[in-house]
């Protein structure tokens, strides 16, 4: 069964760093690209980054370059999103997602996790 489970969110202070995790069972099903998206209240769900299981190739949204880093541990079937220097504007629900290719349009993604909430206080 395809399953994506996010963890690592919480309430943090501005300037803190956070590492989110996505435990994914999708690799065996051929959905070999894992993505991170986020959605703030009243905003569209936006693409952050994606990574390929096998090659480790990464792709980032422009806004995410620098402070956001996506990585994976193939042995643990886990993908991570490291966020540094958190800002209040980063407050959102963060989702991992799986597909057979890099998909930047949230409406086209095949599989979603339930999300983990990140709240950044001033």
One digit per residue, pLDDT tens: the chain, 122 residues? 889 999 999 999 999 999 999 999 877 778 899 999 999 999 999 999 999 998 999 999 999 999 999 999 999 999 999 999 999 999 999 999 999 999 999 999 999 999 999 999 99
What's the CA gap between 79 and 88, in Å, rounded?
A: 24
Supply 73's token pair.
């541990």
Token pair listed for 10: 């919480």
Whole-angstrom distance, CA of residue 64 vs CA of residue 3: 25
Question: Which tokens belong to 91?
Answer: 């407050």
């Amino acid at each position: 069964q395809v399953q994506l489970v996010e963890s690592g969110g919480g309430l943090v202070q501005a300037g803190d760093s956070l590492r989110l995790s996505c435990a994914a069972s999708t690799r065996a099903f051929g959905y070999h690209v894992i993505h991170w998206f986020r959605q703030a209240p009243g905003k569209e769900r936006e693409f952050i980054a994606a990574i390929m299981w096998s090659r480790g190739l990464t792709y980032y949204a422009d806004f995410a370059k620098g402070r956001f880093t996506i990585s994976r541990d193939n042995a643990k079937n886990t993908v991570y999103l490291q966020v540094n220097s958190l800002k209040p504007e980063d407050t959102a629900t963060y989702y991992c997602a799986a597909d057979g290719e890099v998909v930047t349009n949230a409406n086209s993604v095949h599989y979603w996790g339930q999300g983990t909430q990140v709240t950044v206080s001033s």
